[in-house]
A and B are shown apart, each in its own frame.
Chain A
Amino acid sequence: MPQSKKTIFIADDDPDFLFQLRFMITKQSYEVITADSQKEAETILEKLKPDLAIFDLMMENEDSGFILSYKLKKKYPEVPVIIITAVSAETGFSFGLGGEEDKKWIRADMYLEKGIPNEQLMLDIKKLLKE
């Protein structure tokens, strides 16, 4: 176990999802900081440099997660970002990663669907944190 806890920043406008993620991730001895809107996340990220960030895709904007990811990566390219959403391929929605143009600015490290088992999420977090 590392000396000081690593900080994971989560932004999601669903209070229950936020509660569950916080609960599960805190149990794994990480420091968790949360925001319940894109706006709040932007304010917090002005001062905070997390070790990893998890962004919900749709908050007050349909692409809030992408915007947050873009802004965070611009400032700290090395901080891993997970974008997480309940929207998935069955509606023809493919994270907008169709063209090269999109890939250039949406630079999240991982895309996950809500409802994935916690164990998998925890493994992915550890992988991105290189633990």
Chain B
Amino acid sequence: METLSILVVDDEPGIRSGISRILSPHTVSYPFMEDDFNFTVLEASTGEEAISIIDSRVPDIILLDNKLPGIQGVEVLEYIRDRQYDSMVAMITSYASLEIAVKATGDGAFDFIPKPFTPQELKASIDNISKQLYLRRITRKLKKEGKRIRYQFLSVLSHELKAPLNVVEGYLKMMQNREAGDDLTEYDNMIDRSLNRITMMRGLIMDLLDFTKIRLERKQEKIRKININKLAKMAISTIQPYAIQKNVSITLEGEKDAAMQADPEDMEIILNNLLSNAVKYNKDPGQVILRLTTDHDKLIIEVEDTGIGMDAEEREQLFREFVRIKNEKTKNITGSGLGLSIVRKVMELYRGKIQVESEPDKGSRFILSFPFEAVPGIKDVEKN
């Protein structure tokens, strides 16, 4: 339940208390709204009083009589409009002053409620205003977020893709101009660094492909019953060469026949990303445990490491695109900053939940749970 505040501005005490009586127990409910609305009613007997209330806390809805003892309703309306306060204003007015009311709607009032009105008419108006208010806020919110996310994604992507190109180009130019003299060994480091950046860029491009793939529709025919244990073994053997270099051992625990309905590619993406992070941000020597369990309604994948861990602040940023935790310990670790965003995206498709426990210098644990019911109606096409 969300409470909307309504300010009633009218010099007749009877009108104010009447409105308050009608609206205080009233609730508004529409199927598209997450929450029902109820109301708290504030009262002002003059325009001046109304303005001081509005200045201290902008009400969601204002019911405004035009004929007031001091400044008039339309002047209050002007005041609200000039300050771009986010209130829905409805003029309360007698039929005699309909002209003013019509003009007021042109000046930013959303509606007018002709006096005298029945409780039913008042409620109907309030329902309509609440709906508009809800829609207006949702639209505004989506617009703002959509714009910001897209803008940020593109600018960071451009940055991440161009940085390695610029660097490699820079090294090549230095070699072309023999900037370090004629001794070829002087250039070995530049060649190594260039190759390194190209490898990283390839990783970023692969991650980016995964990322865009997930944004597309899921193909139903690809979803089938898969043996997660089998996939997990494959994922471990993929990461094994890297783990050996880093002196990290990986063990698989849990149920041998853990299974769920999924697109195997999705599960590979999740396992590869989590395992590669667990190895990458580990210590020397280190351990990774991949644990698979099921209960009656879900599959749980846990990836636990003995690595560098994170503090609460770092944990919060973890799933944002291109965010890489930057500190002394991660300084020499490279990555695209997309891995966990990808994991999160896939999890959303499966209506799964992801939970992170972590402690600096102790390690991290990622717990993913997939509800079985999330992919309903898919036949048992294949049994592994």
Contact = CB atoms under 8 A, between A and B. Distances in A.
Given A86-B159, A91-B155, A60 B166 contact: no
Interface string B155-173: 1111100110111011101
A118 B151 CA distance: 30
B361 to A, nearest CB: 20
Interface stretch (A17-25, A44-52, A65-73, A102-110): A17-25
B169 to A, nearest CB: 6
A71 to B, nearest CB: 20
Contact of B151 (A86, A92, A114): A92
A17 B166 contact: yes
B107 to A, nearest CB: 29
Interface in B196-223: 197
A99 interface: no
Contacts of B170: 16-17, 20, 115
- Interface of chain B: mostly helix, strand, loop or mixed: helix
B303 to A, nearest CB: 27
A126 B152 CA distance: 34
B179 interface: yes
Interface in B162-202: 162-163, 165-167, 169-171, 173-174, 179-180, 193, 197
B154 interface: yes
25 contacts: A14-B163, A16-B167, A17-B163, A17-B167, A19-B193, A20-B171, A20-B174, A24-B174, A37-B326, A62-B152, A62-B156, A86-B163, A87-B155, A87-B159, A87-B162, A88-B158, A90-B158, A91-B151, A91-B155, A93-B151, A114-B162, A114-B163, A115-B165, A115-B170, A118-B173
Contacts of A24: 174, 179
Contacts of A115: 162, 165-166, 169-170
B198 to A, nearest CB: 12
Interface of B: 151-152, 154-159, 162-163, 165-167, 169-171, 173-174, 179-180, 193, 197, 326, 331
A7 interface: no
Nearest to B157: A91
A33 B351 CA distance: 50
A24 to B, nearest CB: 7
Given A16-B193, A16-B197, A115-B165, A23 B159 contact: no
Nearest to A59: B326
Contacts of A37: 326
A17 B163 CA distance: 8
Interface in A80-123: 85-88, 90-93, 114-115, 117-118
Given A24-B174, A37-B326, A60-B326, 17 more contacts: A13-B326, A14-B163, A16-B167, A16-B170, A16-B193, A16-B197, A17-B166, A20-B170, A23-B174, A23-B180, A86-B162, A91-B151, A91-B155, A115-B166, A115-B169, A117-B173, A118-B173
A58 B157 CA distance: 12
Nearest to A12: B163
B167 A14 contact: yes
Contacts of B152: 62
Nearest to B151: A92
A67 to B, nearest CB: 15
B193 A86 contact: no
Given A17-B167, A20-B171, A58 B151 contact: no
A58 B162 CA distance: 13
